[in-house]
Amino acid sequence: MNEDDVRILAREAVYQGHFRVDRYRLQHRRYDGGWTEELTREVFERGHAVGVLPYDPQRDEVVLIEQFRVGALAADWPTWQLEVVAGIIDPGETAEAVARRESLEEAGLTLLELTPITAFLLSQGAVSETMRLFCGRVDAVGAGGIHGLEHEGEDIKVVVVPYAELPGLLAANKVTNATGLVALQWLLLNRDALRARWAG
């Protein structure tokens, strides 16, 4: 199946606020070769995002952030989420530039090097947002404090975690968002190779 197997009959913006919701009327080809009846679906449009897991290979520490999340509140999950640094790509901006900008804004850290982890859809059933995920080499000496842009309502706490504590952190379900889970699981699998590459 590909894009030729979808017929978009109509698309309209039904809400425009901080984010946008579009309503689609469409049909798509069935696995038996026929077409579905007309379907109506809403899609949440919030742009495309970049996430970065700051990692200090010398100190063997990761830098996470913790902040209030209204989606977690609405889901009745822990409202202050332990996360990786992340932000939305602005028009004309590269994913790497977003990673560097957000690391400074949200954690007060300068990225010394970047390596890609993966890219994925965050909630493919109803959200168009994609996530480009990186691991960023940092010097975590002195990392901590409260960061974020006041005019964006950000109040972000920096949390430094030794690598040795990551398995316990994950086992205790202290990270309950997809981006953080993907990044930390990736580091558990790739940490030795990454340290060898970033040695010195």
**90-103: pLDDT as tens digits:** 999 999 999 999 99
Report, as an integer, the average pLDDT of 141-152: 87
Residue 83, both tokens: 């996360």
Report, as an integer, the average pLDDT of 109-122: 96
Q: Is the pLDDT at 133 greater than 70, yes or no?
A: yes
- For the chain, give the mean pLDDT: 94
Burial 27-49 (b: 16+ CB within 10 A, else e): beeeeeeeeeeeeeeebeeeeeb
Residue of 3, 93, 152, 165 marked active site: 152
Domain boundaries, the chain: 3-45, 49-197
Q: Is the pLDDT at 3 greater than 70, yes or no?
A: yes
Residue 148, classed as helix, strand or coil, is: coil
Q: What is the pLDDT of residue 193?
A: 95
- CA-based radius of gyration for the chain: 19
Q: Is the pLDDT at 199 greater than 90, yes or no?
A: no
Q: What are phi and psi of 93, to 5 degrees?
A: -100, 140
Residue 129 falls in the annotated catalytic set: no
DSSP state for residue 145 in the 8-state scheme: S
Kindly indicate the confidence band of residue 200, based on its pLDDT and cuts at 50, 70 and 90: low
pLDDT tens per residue, range 160-197: 999 999 999 999 999 999 999 999 999 999 999 999 99
- Checking DSSP bridges between strand 39-45 and strand 20-28, what pairing results, if any? antiparallel
20 burial via Cβ count (<10 Å: 0-12, 13-18, 19+): middle
Q: Is the pLDDT at 152 greater than 80, yes or no?
A: no
CATH topology for 49-197?
Nucleoside Triphosphate Pyrophosphohydrolase (3.90.79)
What is the number of other CB atoms lying within 10 angstroms of the CB of residue 177? Answer: 20
Q: How far apart are CA 128 and CA 143, in angstroms?
A: 34
